[in-house]
Structure 1
Amino acid sequence: MRPRRPLPLVSGVLLAALLVVPAAAGSAQSLQEARAERAQLQSRLDATAAELGATEGRVATLEAEGEALEAEASELAASVAELQEGMQAQVVALYKRGSARDPLTIFLTSDDPNEALLRAQTLERVVIADLGEVESLGADRRRLEAVQERLEAQRADVAAAVAEQRELRDALQRDLQRAAELEQRLEAEERERQRRAEEERRRKAAAEAEARAAREAAAARTPSAPSAPSSGSSGSSGGGGRAPTSAGKACPVGQPHSFTDTWGAPRSGGRAHRGTDILAPYGTPVYAIVDGTWSIQSPGPSAGLWAILRGSDGNQYWYMHLQSHTVSNGARVSAGQQTATNGDTGNARGTPHVHFELHPGGGSAINPYPLLRSVC
């Protein structure tokens, strides 16, 4: 009796397909919702990052103004103290000599009119000088009080700006964490989609193979029937742990991340910002932007853990505030290869990010923002 295997197999494939469709539709909807939320989060991240950059600049400016006011207050306080000491010394000296400070009294009580006139004129000049010192003392005291008032108000402004900076950092960290969770969810959804697609491909391949076997069996029983040629399927290979590249370049920090153009913005210590801060959660992969050599530098109080990517294109790319290195010093790396993880070492405590600099030809830094916009 002729077997009837193809029919149950086809029915099984159809049943499996019917069962998969609702799940796939629900997954697609979930994926779409996650992508929409991720897009909204990215907009918020970019806005918060821009506001944080502006706040950091304002804090640096206020701190510099405060240092100038403190220096002015210290100078005025020293001047006031010096004038007070000088006047006190003159009073003590005159008291010890028992001298009157009225030129008319000196003139009338002296036996020699010429000597009395000379002494009276000299004393008048001393009195006038003392009056000038008194006026200078009063002016310096008033200026000192005004500077101290400005300094107190300025310190309040700094405290408010620092509090705002802290709130922005906290909000940014919350959004980055949520974005990271969404990123993981999207990746899991994509892996699940690929798994279902692979299972469907295998089911179809199995059904085709069984149908082909049935045809070949029928052909064997019918000599006149030509045999069908066999067909093979080609597999695909992929690599993980790398960033996508375009024109030989890759974004130096993985998703989620956010960055704005803060080139030249004021920073603490009177510095100007000479790079772009790419904010991302702790541990986010850091990648080589181009092919080159990963050169680990000595950690510093400002840069923290950092490295220079000496690009094969002749340029240098500086990565600062790293949490760890994932390749050894002097390693040859390719664009998109992971080289480190994101952190907040050095003076970046509390705000994990990569301070990224571009040094064309190894020379002075230029604004890397346009380059980052083109590859991230």
Structure 2
Amino acid sequence: MSCWETSAPGSGRALRRAVALAVGVTTLLWSSSVADASAPSTPAEKAAQEIQAARDRADAAAQALFDTEAEIDRLQIEIGETEEELAEVEAEIDAARSGLEQQAVRNFVGAGGSTMPLLIDVTKTNENLTAEVFSSIATENVYTNLDDYDALIVEVDEVRGDLEQQQADADAATANFAVLIEQAEAEVILLGEIEEQRLEDEAVRKALEAQQRARAEQERKEQEAEAARQAAAAAAAAEAAAVAAATPAATPPQAAAPAQVAPEAAPSSSGSNLACPVAGPRAFADTWGAARSGGRSHQGVDVISPGGTPLVAMESGRVEFKSNGLGGQTLRLYGASGTRYYYAHLSGYEGGNRPVNKGDVVGYVGRTGNTTTNHLHLQIHPNGGQPINPYPITRAACG
């Protein structure tokens, strides 16, 4: 019998509670130790905390900026869909109006009347039209057609109202986006000034590195605690399924709870052995999967930095430069590890297609292509295949 097996009734639940309690206590103790260790005790540690606080503010501004950009793109997609819906309803109204006019002609000729009512434009009220047609062509078929026509008028008004609201929301988001650009760029510039002043001191650099290691360790502990929680949930689901399977047939079997799948492990390359692609002040935004115009989704990480900031090779390999409509001036770095890196929106290149070493300057931050903000759009393709979320790797590389 393994250490995880027991024959005592309810011992499985007790074991899970004990595991959960142990995980909770461990996490609490770790958080407390990190909190105690984070209290600055020297001028260097205080300066390091000021740098980290400035980085956090810049990151928050970058995230707000790119979240708003995603919202604008989502609204533009919705506006396009609503415009298509409006065109379809208006086409139905045109067809219904044409049918009513033809019915009016047939009934007018058959009735021998002297006048024929004309339908007004769909953008105007149809009260007069309804009164005239009802009084001169009172047939069941026309009544039915007018009911359908009225319903279409109501529907087109509703769709137009939705479209107007979406356009108003998009306008407001666009105006907010312009403000957020200024705020994010100002935070990054301020961060650069703080780093330039503080990081000249070797003691400050070491203190900052120590704080970053502590933060990374805390994040690792939190991920382990979450993995343990999901593993416990999966074990509970498996036990429930086993109990349900052993239940007598007279009792309707209960559906087993779906097993919790643990989150996919982070790539083996944590990023710590890679060079940060932006050699200067920067702010991160995790925008993986965000909506983009044309029904696309964002497949990279966005790193805000002042225009002209040097970009370097994340690892040794070969660099090739190309341009396209979306990315503007771009480059592809074919790393020696087999990973391909894609940099977009550059303001310029450094040199030509060539072999490079890790840390070599390959270009400069810009806003060419489909963007309005100075930043690097970075994609990472392990083994040259499909892109993965590069945020964790880039964060580890850049600190």
Q: TM-score, normalised by structure 1?
A: 0.65
Kindly tell me the number of residue pairs found equivalent between the two proteins.
267
- Are 2:291 and 2:297, in contact at CA under 8 Å, matched by a contact in 1? yes
- What is the aligned partner in structure 1 of residue 58 from structure 2? 45
Looking at structure 1, the residues matched to 79 and 325 of structure 2 have their Cα atoms a distance apart, in angstroms, of: 23
Residue identity in the other structure for 1:88? E
Q: Specify whether residues 324 and 187 from structure 1 end up closer, same or farther in structure 2 by C-alpha distance, changes over 3 A only.
A: farther
Equivalence for 1:289 = 314
Q: 1:153 aligns with which of 141, 144, 165?
A: 165
Distance 1:162 1:324 in 2: 28
Residue deviations 1:214-236, cap 9 Å, x none? xxxxxxxxxxxxxxxxxxxxxxx
Q: 1 CA distance for matches of 2:104 and 2:145?
A: 13
Q: Deviations over 1:94-118 (max 9, x none)?
A: 3345447xxxxxxxxxxxxxxxxxx
Distance 1:33 1:187 in 2: 12
In 2, are the aligned partners of 1:183 and 1:255 still within 8 Å (CA)? Answer: no
Whether the 8 Å contact between 1:62 and 1:158 is mirrored in structure 2 is: yes
Between the aligned partners of 1:247 and 1:55, the Cα distance in structure 2 is: 30
Counterpart Cα distance in 1 of 2:339 and 2:169: 41
RMSD: 2.6
Unpaired runs of at least 5, structure 2 = 1-41, 114-137, 203-270
1:57 deviates by 1.9
Number of the residue aligned with 2:94: 81
More deviation in 37-46 or 300-309? 37-46
**Pairing 1:265–2:290 present:** yes
Q: What's the CA shift for 1:184?
A: 4.0
TM superposition shift of 1:35: 5.7
Give the C-alpha shift of residue 93 in structure 1.
Answer: 3.9
Distance 1:32 1:248, change over 3 A: closer
Q: Identify the residue that residue 132 of structure 2 maps to in structure 1.
A: none
Cα shift readout 1:116-174 (whole Å, capped 9, x = no counterpart)? xxxxxxxxxx9333222211111010011111111111111111111121111110111
Supply the distance in 2 between the matched residues of 1:320 and 1:367 (Cα, whole angstroms).
16
Structure whose alpha-carbon radius of gyration is higher: 1
User: Which AA in structure 2 matches 1:292?
Assistant: G
Letter paired with 2:348: S
Show structure 1 runs of 5+ residues with no match. Answer: 1-27, 101-125, 191-245
Letter in 1 for 2:75: L
Q: Is the 8 A contact 1:180 1:281 kept in 2?
A: no
**What residue is the counterpart of 1:182 in the other structure?**
194
- Equivalent of 2:342, from 318, 321, 324? 318
Aligned to 2:84: 71
Q: 1:365 aligns with which of 382, 387, 393?
A: 387
CA contact (8 A) 1:262 1:273 kept: yes
Give SS of 1:250's match: coil
Secondary structure at the residue paired with 1:293? Answer: strand
1:138 to 142, 146, 150: 150
Which string of whole-angstrom CA distances, capped at 9 and with x for unpartnered residues, describes residues 259-297 of structure 1?
132211111222111010111110111010000001112
Q: TM-score, normalised by structure 2?
A: 0.62
Map of 1:170-319 to 2, 5 A cutoff?
170-186=182-198, 248-297=273-322, 299-319=323-343
* Residue 339 of structure 1: aligned partner: 362
Name the aligned partner's letter for residue 311 of structure 2.
V
C-alpha distance in 1 between matches for 2:272 and 2:376: 23
Contact 1:34 1:182 in 2 (8 A): no
